[in-house]
Structure 1
Amino acid sequence: MDSQTVVRTRRALHAVAETLLAGPQYRTSGTIRLEACPGGFATRSEPWLRVVGAELVAAGRYLPLVRTTCAVLAAEVGVAVGAPAGLYQEGAGVGSEEVIDVDPAAAEWLARCFAIGDAALRGTFPGSDPVIWPEHFDIGVTVDAANYGVSPGDDFQPEPYAYVGPHAVQQGEFWNAPFGAARTIRDLGAVRGVADFFSHGRQLLAGSA
């Protein structure tokens, strides 16, 4: 699939995650934390909503995320559309009346990347609790003053990538990004490659302590 389709789909899914899942969950249950689920991502508390592929799932209803808006979807599932208020400055940048369009193949690829990230984080950091954060729409954990995770893409890198983001600036070949280190999921492959990347970054940081 072409990169424009992936970016368009990622932007649409980010909007859904932020304004239909995290926002309503924050207003109802006091948390913005989302999580990976088979085929996509989901809330952790009420309202119980999830995205699987190119559909929003709510109370047994499957609503296609094709040529629609977050406002229309919110009305369909009975939630108030909108991002969590006052918690962060960035976000999807998609208005509730803006038409969104999710490509099923691209959605499947992005869901796979979240699943890879979730598994690699749990394998590298036993007992960790990977969270999908609605601000940047990435899945990650923080361990020993460093962020580890997988992003589905952003302005820095348009395709999905794994990252290690130490809180202190590092020097060396491994650290190839403004925030630390990044490698695309395509380059790293599946769970083992991403886990090895996390482990390498962790080892380097332990040596610099």
Structure 2
Amino acid sequence: MAPEADPTLVTTRRALHALAAQVIAPLRTQATGNEIALRPRPGGFGTPELPEGGWVGVDGTDLVRVDGEGARETAPITSLLDAADFVGLDDAASALTDAPLEVHAGAAQILADAWASGEEALIALGGDDTTPILWPEHFDIAIEHAQATYGVSPGDDAHPEPYAYISLWTPPPGLETGPSTFWNAVGFTGAERPWTNDVDELVAFFRAGAAAR
């Protein structure tokens, strides 16, 4: 049975995940033609720089829109439909709802810290040329390294709290897995550990996985 988590953390993660997958990433696709990848931003997440400059995203309990000149506007998170209107997502009304989104400031900060520390640890693992990606589908920040995916997830149905993970692409024959082994992941072949804001601990975990293969 999965451990219980602060319900505000789960509610906030689900609300922000919906925003990422249904509003923020589609806005980037609209602007670029095909790109969906996001990145951590102070207080949350958002697009990389858009072709005409600026970016859109989330900071705590607010939506953020920054134009090409650096002017910043914010609006409270209320619903997917309102968010689409604020960021300028075209033709979204038929697909999105005006159901309220519940985002709690403290929980949003925990998730923002998880992505930010994950980004720093993944760059340390992969090198200065590494660009970790915050994928809107799974809402994790990750890189590919040494035939595995390394990342930090804000949580999911099997993990109510943020966690760091290593997912093996092709597990070697005879790999010992299970709760008492290093390769202890739930729901995939790999390793996991509770998230910590200590970047050095995250880097040590990732490097231990790379060395253990």
Fold-level similarity (TM above 0.5): yes
Higher-helix-fraction structure? 1
Instruction: Report the Cα offset of residue 76 of structure 1.
Output: 2.5
Instruction: Report the Cα offset of residue 151 of structure 1.
Output: 0.2
**1:77 aligns to 2:87 (yes or no):** yes
Q: Distance in 2 between matches of 1:134 and 1:81?
A: 20
Instruction: Report the Cα offset of residue 80 of structure 1.
Output: 2.9
Q: Does the CA contact (< 8 Å) of 2:114 and 2:197 recur in 1?
A: no
Residue equivalent to 1:119? 120
**1:61 aligns to 2:73 (yes or no):** yes
Q: Distance in 1 between matches of 2:202 and 2:154?
A: 14
Task: Show structure 1 runs of 5+ residues with no match.
Answer: 83-93
- Where 1:120 maps in the other structure, the secondary structure is helix
1:129-174 residue CA offsets vs partner (Å, 9 max, x unmatched)? 1000010000000112100000000012110000000112342410
Q: 1:144 is aligned with what amino acid? A: A
1:93-115 residue CA offsets vs partner (Å, 9 max, x unmatched)? x9533321110010011100111
Bigger Cα Rg: 2
Q: Distance in 2 between matches of 1:197 and 1:76?
A: 40
Flag as ranges the 4+ runs of structure 1 deviating above 6 A: none
Q: Distance in 2 between matches of 1:98 and 1:136?
A: 22
Q: Distance in 1 between matches of 2:41 and 2:21?
A: 16
Q: Distance in 2 between matches of 1:5 and 1:107?
A: 9
Could you tell me the TM-score, scaled by structure 1's length?
0.84
Identity %: 38
Could you tell me the TM-score, scaled by structure 2's length?
0.83
Task: Show structure 2 runs of 5+ residues with no match.
Answer: 67-71
Q: Distance in 2 between matches of 1:44 and 1:52?
A: 14
